[in-house]
Every structure is written in structure tokens, then in C-alpha cells.
Structure 1
């Protein structure tokens, strides 16, 4: 397809867009495979009881995914989004097999390094390709659909693996789900996904956004909007890493069954996923700064309530509020980043943002794991909740209001 034949827009490219949404659901499902069962898998299969050691798999996942995000952004224009997506699925295929046949905890950590690299390549590629396809008008809505698919799938698969583990044990049957997901995702990407480089050239011809002098420095530190969004992304995944690793441990301590644990751990990403169907579109019409502030604040307050309530229904409500807060910020992060940068630098800027955002998994695992081992799980949860509230204040006082535009520097 030539640049002249290209038409930007969701309606104009709905078939390819829908395919990428479906593929991103499979990407999210690979993470959901581990979401409910891993702390129990670690203790029962390998005798790993230390919170820090258990959370080492999240650290490995977070660091590898963060680096893969960054290099996906750096390499997307050179090698093509589609090629990086296919490579990501190839790397995902061995993951459930390694987990099933792991003879030591080191093999589990290796599997999560592979999973992180795969997630960085696949998720970053689908994000950037959807933004390429739709153009400026429906960017927030596109990100809402993308993140809905991914995180709703996390919730669904988290519930399924919890159910299977409750019926048949924590290994090997839950990992069969991962085998099916990885193979189907690879086949869909290989046979039907088309690259979107011509869409980038089309939008670049009419886009007047000033290019960043140094994408990494300005996204991380210098640009007030981009740096405020980036720190919030890091803290968002810092608390998500804590929820991933410590919430099942807390529920086990309260004598929850695998099935009920699966329900609680699925509500949060489920609400997060469904909510983005609406919050993505909202970010096209309402204040992005306001959505980011309130979303981070809701997350922080919800997390701070977790240690004080062991009742199933109260925890279900807290998980729903946490999911709603995350839904407010997640597509808004990406639509704000995309709005702030030129089409030619978009992949690298999103890659830099996602580098820091997913390093939050590693920081969250290390901080919450050490705090849990020294002072107890409840104190670790409270600490992460308080850090999330601080992040909302940074959004409030550092990020310029939307009407001031995004290219604001110190």
C-alpha cells in the first residue's frame, strides 16, 4: 500500500485494528497465566518461602520487559513493527514449557526473563501499530481498546488458572493455557498482521509537532508533561508488581482458597480492562491531567485500605476501585505521550516511557519484597500505597494543565 492510498482512522482500518486488539488479548493472557498461582507454585514446588525470593521472578520480568520496550521503540522504524511482533511471539512459545519442566527456581526466573522480553516486543508493537492506524482523532479510544483487550485477558486467564489449579493442582495443567495462547498468537501475527510504516509517513506529512532533541532525556526528566507521565507510569507498575506478588500471599495468610484468590486477583485487572473501553474515549475529550491525578490517587487510597480488611466482599470492592483507578490512567498515559511527540519519534518516546513504566515492576518487587521480609506484608502494602499517593501529587503540581499544551520545559 502506497502513502497516497493510506487513510488514517479507526473506521478505515477496522479489520487490521480488530486483529491487533485480539492479538493483544493473547499477549495479556500470557501474563495472566502466572497472576494467581505463582506464590503457591514457588512454595509448593520449590520450597521458596522468602517474599524477596518469590518476587525475584517479577523483578526478572520487569527488567527484561522494560529493556525490550525501549529497544522495540528504538528499532521499530528500522526493522518494522510486524517483524518485532512476530519475534516476540517466538520468544513466548518456550515459556510455559520451561515452567512446567523447571527443575529449580533459576529456571522459573529464566522463563520470566523470556516472558518479559516477549511482552516488551509484542505489547509495544501492538500499541504503536494501533496509534499509527487511527491517527490523532481517536487515539485515546484506540488505546482504551488496546489496553482493555490486554488487561481483561489478564483477569480472565488469572481466574482460569486459579480455577484449574484449585481442581488439578498448580502444575502442570494451568500452564497448558499458556501453550495454547502463545501458539495462536504467533500464528495470527505471522499470517495476517500487516506493517504500518506507510501510515507513519502519511501522518508525518501533515503533523507539525516539534521533534524532541533527546527523546530519552526529555521523556525522562526535562519535558514537564512527559516526565510527569513517566514517573506515574513507573509508580503504577510498581504497585501492580506488589499486587501481583504480595496480594496472593496476603490472601493465603487469610486462608483463601485458590478459587476465591482467583476471583479477587481477577477483579482488579478485569475492571481495569473493561474500564478502559470508556476511559480511553474520555481521554480524547476530557482533561488528561485530571484523569491521571484522580486515577493515581484512587489507586493509592485503595491499596492503603487492603491490609485492614480480610472480608471477601470488601476486598472485592477494593480491587474494583483499584482497577477503576488504573483504568483512568493507563490509556491516558499513552494518548498523552503520543500527543506530545511527532509521528517519527512516537515509537521511541513510547518505548522510553514503557522502559521506565515496566521497571516499576522490578522496583515494586524489590521494595515490597524486602519490606515484607523485614516488617511484614501489611507494611509493604501500605508503603506502596503511600508512594502511589505521592505520585498523584507530582501529576497535580508538575504536569501543566492541558490547555497549556504539552511542550512545556523547565
Structure 2
């Protein structure tokens, strides 16, 4: 872990984070990992609810150590005039403001884009919400679980004919956060290009990210296939519809995933499992032909894997240059040498003395990499230091 001095490609960027829980703070974490100074505003009392989510160590979530690393914590009551005035002053000095409140909340508090842009024309506002800042659904509460359903993802997850399942993590929030980071970086570049004598800092703008749209943006061919052919894609379990063979297969002591859908890869896979006749079959020469016989291919592969342990299946298919992998648990991740070699598992020691493995930095930059520079802050740890730098209006006579 580096010292607290900001390094990385975003060093010098000042970010004000007003969001809570997952989407807004994940965007803030990503910017902070790459050097941005992120000032997290938390409500008095318990702070961000994420501090108490899932498994706790001495009263604080270990998840908090990941989501809020590299950030400063400032306690302000946004429901009070004084708290809102302090946020307005902080926003006047910031480059980026992140919020994921229900649309209209900042406007109700007198902190809407028009107000903040009047103080700071170069401010970029990242606004993450369930349905976006406009449209007939804007005022509805939106969580990741609903966004994943509306975005088309949840319908495809699970086995045919059975109720849909969820991934076990809040994908809608994370996808929205990553789209938000992309939007912020695009807006920063646009601001740089707009610098002029009249706008010495450049022009800011609002980045409007809806959770359901972030999910929908990742749905590949779902809409054009419906538009062109009226096709409504259905859940397919562990298979990838229309692309074969690509599935999960049972082994003697577990399961593996195999992607044998490239033309040359398919031939190597069939040869590796002793099915040379399928490798040479002209009726399986391309993906469209193989997709029509996906069940036959899955049965052939499954019959071979079922007689062998996972380790043997992986070793033999890797030797044949066929994409294959065990299905990892977190215990597998923690023990895997590749994760370690890539710096994807970093060890920190919390303020309470807990040695904790946390995810490393993504993506990897060769010249200006990100870093974990400081631990996640205690509630309000930086309130005095941050607010002490604010220029406050002179008292009225």
C-alpha cells in the first residue's frame, strides 16, 4: 500500500461523492484507485449503510474496506441548511460530483445542476439512478435487482421452464458504476477541449446513468434479433444459445466450463476427447451447423468429462489449447497463483489490526497504475481537515 500522497493518472482530480451503498460509491472507488481525491459525504449517526452490510469485524463491514479505500470521510447533514451550504462550497471547488439519490432529491435540497453549475461551470455531475433523470419512470425507486429484470438480464438467467435466478452480486449497480466512470472520463475530455477565455476551466455537464440502461447495454444481440426475426431469447441454463459447443459439464468430482465454439478449437476439442469423426464431420464445420446439433455435441463432451476428474479434464484440454476452466469458489480464487502474480489479491491491515485480503486494481496501466494509498476511513475522520479548508462567507454585520 502506497502512502497517502495521490498518485496515478487522475492525481489532482477532486471528486465529491454524495452517494451511498453500491453504485455511486463504486464509481468513486474506481476513480480513487487511480489517484483522484475523493471526498465522501456521509450522514451523521451511522454514515453510509454499507458500513453495516454483510459480515462485520468489530462493528464495520469488511466490504467497507474495499468500497471506500482511498477516500476521505466527511460527515454532513444534507437535510440541514448548514450541511447543504458546506456541500455547495465543496462542489464549487470540485471537478466531479457523484450522486445516486432518487431523481429530484438534489433539486429539493437546492443542490441541482443549475445551482451548482452557477458556482462552478466546469463541474461534471455523475447522476446514477434506477431509471434515469427523465422519462415516465424517473420517480420510481430503482434497485439493481429491478434494473437487471427490466434490462433483460434476469429473464435469461436460470434453467428453461424454471424461475429466473440472480447472480448473487448486484450486477446492475456495478455495471451502472462502470458506465458512470466512462461517462466521467468522456466528460473530462470534453471539458478539456472546451477551455477558452470565457471558460478557463472548460464546460462541465451532467452524466445521466440509469441502472436498467447499463444492464441493457450489455445484452448483446437481444434487441436486433427480436427486431429482425421476432425472436424472444429464452433462458438456456449454462449454455450459450446459438454458439456451440459452449457449456458447463459434469466431471467425476465436480464441474468445468468448456468453450469449444471456434472452428479450429472445435476440431481440437473433438480430437482430445477421442471423437475424431465429429472433428472431421463437414456437418459441424462452422458455428451455425454446430448450433443446430448442440445437444448432440454436449452429450458427447459430457460423456467424456463424466468419467474423469476435473484436474485431468483441465490438463488434457489445456494441452490441446481448448479454453477450459474449473468453476472457482472464493477459496479457489484465494489460492490461485495467477491471481497473486497479477496483483489481484492485495493484503491490507485495517485500523483494528485485521489482516485482510482485498481485490487489487483493475485495469492495469503500465505507466500510471492505480494503487491502494490509504485505508477506508472511519466515519467523519476527515471532516475537520476538509471543512477547515473551505472559504466561508463573512458573518453579517
- Indicate the structure whose relative CO is greater, using CA pairs within 8 Å and at least 6 residues apart: 1
TM-score by length of 1: 0.22
TM-score by length of 2: 0.23
Which one has a larger percent strand, Structure 1 or Structure 2?
2
Which one has a larger percent helix, Structure 1 or Structure 2?
1
